[in-house]
Chains A and B, each alone.
Chain A
């Protein structure tokens, strides 16, 4: 066995131990899991939801739900995939929750950001694409984030989402096509 693999296995084993301890109610172990994962989870949620406030809520909801549901997790080594599923669901719940409150969140979704490049330079750039991305449902956003931001291969996404690999591949393709359509629609709306 390659030494690297041994190291990785040791790491996985340590992580699994934390998960097992946390599942038994060890708050210290759970703190360790949170400390090593909250930032990454927040970035995924931020990419899916597009603003700090919702991402923060979704991240907190996901990790608290994980804490609540940990005793039911059968395979500690699948903790990260399991947590990603919970996070995606929390993002979904967050979107639906936020859509229905009259109060506008005090997040930065309407913030005036620092002045950027001129209009001509921005057309076709990330701003337009980001707005097109906002038009996708959360499932499509999630699969794109897992693949393009998290750099997860299709097989890993399939494991995360508990779907066959072929289905994951198809869904990824559909999501990308939907983003292309949304981007085209954005272009039409602006022309």
Chain B
């Protein structure tokens, strides 16, 4: 078939850009900017990151931390732990070095109690026409279980048979504006108007806890160490940019708020998930008249403390290039595995590369350079999946990159969305989103609609979920 070769005119470009620019500006845009600027104003008064203590001081600090923990544990056993629960959160030792940015809570620490669980009846139904055409978020959690959040209608669906039937899950107070995060086959958290809800049985029962709405501004962002150990990070109304609540019992009680900080990098905060938990991430950017900033910061506690890392600099990862972390796994023993994307001056991508930390925050060992255009997802320390939509290719390894099994998909992955929208639960089972576009074969009537595709054979074949 002969390909169409449309002629590009100036008016076409202009019309397209006018449409992309949109007609409306968010009503609270200016207020949001001014609030963020006010937070910067507060931070200007004091240096943001304290200098690293010397070795001897680190040892003394570590001893003090252990002492505090022992003391806190003893007090907890005697029922006098209310204050120390928060201190445990702040100073809990991790295997990798952590900069304590701000250990003081912005308000008196409280343990929030929870009312009794609410319960809802869930009735399974087959995929409804149009149900999956506005997917905003999803998690394929196992070979059979998945979650989907849609915008129109604003709904959350869960399947236990990989998309043949669904139940509609409704957290208490659920609305289109609420925050939601899927964790595993049974667990999700949500936040609506300051009430944080959690379920650990697929949405049948919920526990919910209200935080002080006067302190927060905007929706919660959740990060998880485990299904029961979670952080809810809110934009704050006060001087600190973030307020962080923490639960270690699956959302039944929350402690906080703690003051969260944002590292002084010229970049946006993102989130990166791995098999051993999720992290808030700040990767360095490039701004006029400044050298490339070859650092990134990770927070495993919702933004209360941050660890600063230096990107690897080598051939293929030059100092003068944009870099960011595209995949991560930080094990409890401190082993850090990252996939790093490199882009010289933000223009032409170089291949992603997987590195393992050398035991500190600046030394790296190159594990593997990926094919150009491919990205990797770490399912476990040893099980990884590699995905590329141009050219269409999927590969997986179960020995940490020792050997890769390559798959040539029978379906072109060209129109699949970038990596944020494809995901594997195991090396066999994955979901991916593509936009309907003009695919007559898929029965598309709306080019903006989403299509959810799934594979059960490591990416060899993909079928539309719900069809």
Contacts and interface: CB of A to CB of B under 8 A. Distances in A.
A100 B352 CA distance: 12
Contacts of B325: 100
Interface in B419-467: 419-421, 423, 433, 435, 437-438, 440, 444-450
Nearest to A99: B418
Interface stretch (B33-41, B116-124, B188-196): B33-41
A101 B270 contact: yes
B6 A103 contact: no
Contacts of B26: 42, 52, 56
A190 to B, nearest CB: 5
Interface in A48-98: 50, 52, 56-61, 63-65, 67-69, 72, 82, 85-86, 89-90, 92-94, 96-98
Interface in B279-330: 281, 283, 285-289, 322, 324-327
B288 A86 contact: yes
A4 interface: no
A116 interface: yes
B4 A191 contact: yes
Given A59-B33, A191-B2, A103 B17 contact: no
B341 interface: yes
B133 A104 contact: no
A154 interface: no
Given A38-B33, A189-B414, 17 more contacts: A30-B34, A34-B37, A47-B17, A90-B266, A97-B269, A102-B272, A110-B421, A112-B446, A112-B448, A112-B450, A119-B447, A122-B447, A129-B13, A137-B346, A149-B18, A179-B8, A183-B6
B438 A190 contact: yes
B6 A124 contact: yes
Interface string B9-52: 01011111111111001100110111011101100100000000
A122 B436 CA distance: 13
25 contacts: A27-B38, A31-B34, A38-B25, A46-B22, A47-B21, A59-B29, A67-B40, A72-B289, A97-B269, A97-B324, A98-B268, A99-B418, A99-B419, A101-B272, A102-B271, A103-B137, A105-B136, A110-B151, A111-B136, A113-B448, A126-B19, A127-B447, A131-B437, A148-B17, A184-B5
Nearest to A130: B16
B60 interface: no
B8 A58 contact: no
B440 A94 contact: no
B135 interface: yes
Contacts of B6: 124, 128, 183-184, 187
Contacts of B5: 184, 187
A40 B297 CA distance: 31
A149 B341 CA distance: 30
Nearest to A39: B25
Interface string B176-219: 00000100000000000000000000000000000000000000
Contact of B134 (A112, A144, A148): A112
Contacts of B420: 98-105
Given A50-B20, A63-B33, A189-B415, A58 B271 contact: no
B78 interface: no
Nearest to B15: A126
Interface residues of A, number: 83
Interface in A167-191: 176, 179-180, 183-184, 187-191
Contacts of A27: 37-38, 41
A17 interface: no
A96 B322 contact: yes
A44 interface: yes
Contacts of A111: 134, 136, 151-152, 448
Contacts of A108: 151
B346 A64 contact: no
B77 interface: no
A103 B266 contact: no
A180 B6 CA distance: 8
Nearest to A96: B324
A44 B21 contact: yes
Contacts of A34: 30, 33-34, 37
B352 to A, nearest CB: 10
Contact of A144 (B17, B440, B448): B17
Given A42-B29, A184-B6, A149 B283 contact: no
A90 B72 CA distance: 44
B136 A110 contact: yes
A38 B288 contact: no
Contacts of B38: 27
A116 B447 contact: yes
B348 A137 contact: yes
Contacts of A69: 287
A104 B137 contact: yes
A93 B272 contact: no
A148 B198 CA distance: 48
A97 B268 contact: yes
Contact of B16 (A58, A90, A126, A189): A126
A115 interface: yes
Contacts of B25: 38-39, 42-43
